[in-house]
Chains A and B, each alone.
Chain A
Amino acid sequence: MRMDSERQVSTNDALIEFRKVDKFFNKPEEGRYQVVGDLNIKVRENEFLVLFGPGQCGKSTILNMVAGFEMPSAGEVLCQGKPIEAPGPERGMVFQNTALFPWLTVMGNVEYGPKVRGVKKEERRQKAQHYIDLVGLQGFENSFPVKLSGGMQQRVGIARAYCNEPLVMLLDEPFGHLDAQTRYLMQDELTRIWQAEKRTVIFVTNNIEEAVYLADRILVLRNCPTGVKAEYEITLPRPRNYTDPEFLRLRREIDSVVDHTL
């Protein structure tokens, strides 16, 4: 048990904190298998943090531990100084495969969070409408997800997570399934939405360009077991330009430290 005074200290400088986190999985063939090793991360309030690393390096496992879907095998994951024990509305996730509820309309999906938390109909409708407008989906309130394009579906995913007004937004390769053009557009849109309503964001990607384009700070992750290999503060002004010399220099520099594996 930690003292309250200690808790105070940790909330001051980090909203989310990983302390010496190890994570093991049991796989039938390989047996016990380490995914995350001695991970220490502090996420500051309102920063846009990108976790960048190669293919299957355990990035999603890190997000799943913040979301409360997975528990660390050793060490602690803290949110405002308190250990994370279960999923909760203060940590909103945007999933790679969108995970929209197919039987609910856009409005139904976006207002789902406030609804299950018991917010009155009029109030939650108003709030949902605000976020539907924010992500640019006005006019599609009554459409079912199957009727929307991939980019539009992910806008719904973002609005749905935002509508619970979480402390931290977790984005798990949200644009991974989109085609290149839509991906660029959605990166712009995400920057715009985030600047309009600041939240702490943890964004996972395996795309270096996307990382440099979006991040305040990039943590480059090493391969299994995952830990932080390098850290970059990105101070380029927004909106950023993919062909700016400084952008390209950063991109090359980060690329040189990544573990390239097949």
Chain B
Amino acid sequence: MAEKQKRVAFGALGIFIFLCIWYAATTLTSLGKVMPDPITVLAGFFTAFVEPIGTHSMIMHILVSLRRMLIPYFFGGVLGVLVGILMGWYKLADAILMPYIQMIRPIPPIAWIPLSIVWFGFDEGSKYFLIFLACFFTIALTTYNGVHSVDETLVRAARMLGAKDNQLFTSIVLPTTVPYIFSGLQVALGSAWATIVAAEMIRSSEGVGWLIISGQEVGNMTQIMVGIMAIALTGLLITSIMRGVESKLCAWTVRGK
């Protein structure tokens, strides 16, 4: 526990020092001409909770973006786990699907923007599609790796004890795969959230990504920084929540470490 408190204290100290350097750099040097100082940004961030930017207050921008991310993230997660298990369990599925996954995965989400607009229009559909792409492949591949990491002697032990194929799957393959699925979900959550800016570059009038885009359009540097800050803090919050859920559900691996 003391270890954990120390960690938090050092983290906070690091951020404070960074803010001091930022403040000094923007007030004492010419960097201030191209970048607002931290007090302005922080003030902008907090006033945005009470004074709306565009049509919404900050909390609504964050909630709109979270919803935009979580819906495709959910589908990407479910589908990714299913495809990963399918490919890990059946060699034929692996042979057929793996080349597609390896080809499509390295394409950055931004490259899909024009096509996604043609296919899904300017509304939510195209944004969902981009974020789905950002998380599906990661989750499918980590799940696949999980299925492949099943310990052969555990399979032997289970067979020796009388397990049939379906029991082998539920009692050996799934528990082995769960920690992999979680690390995939964790990484994918990060990339899905990071893709929100790209997604909101497609016509939108709300959301944290839109704050940055519209800040750029009107030349409001502070608003851009406020948007970045909203993305950073919300990202920190959701990945922390995810990590908490993981350590509850995978107690046996965490204890094993």
Contacts and interface: CB of A to CB of B under 8 A. Distances in A.
A144 B175 CA distance: 14
Nearest to A86: B159
A194 interface: no
Contact of A89 (B160, B167, B171): B160
12 contacts: A68-B160, A69-B159, A93-B157, A99-B151, A101-B158, A103-B175, A103-B252, A112-B158, A116-B167, A116-B171, A144-B255, A164-B161
B203 interface: no
Given A99-B156, A99-B157, A113 B255 contact: no
Contacts of A91: 160
5 residue pairs, one from A and one from B, having the closest CB atoms: A113-B161, A89-B162, A87-B159, A99-B157, A103-B175
Contacts of A88: 160, 162
Contact of A160 (B151, B161, B167, B256): B161
Contacts of A100: 157
Given A101-B175, A146-B255, A147-B255, A67 B160 contact: yes
Nearest to B168: A116
Contact of B161 (A69, A89, A103, A144): A89
Contacts of B156: 67, 69, 87, 93, 95, 99
B162 A116 contact: yes
A97 interface: yes
A2 interface: no
Interface string A59-74: 0000000011100000
A58 interface: no
Interface of A: 67-69, 86-89, 91-93, 95, 97, 99-103, 112-113, 116-117, 144, 146-147, 160-161, 164
A112 B161 contact: yes
B55 interface: no
Most chain B beta carbons < 10 A, residue from A88, A93, A99:
A99
Nearest to B179: A103
Contacts of A93: 156-157, 160
A95 B157 contact: yes
Nearest to B157: A99
B194 interface: no
Nearest to B154: A99
B166 to A, nearest CB: 10
Interface in B216-257: 252-253, 255-256
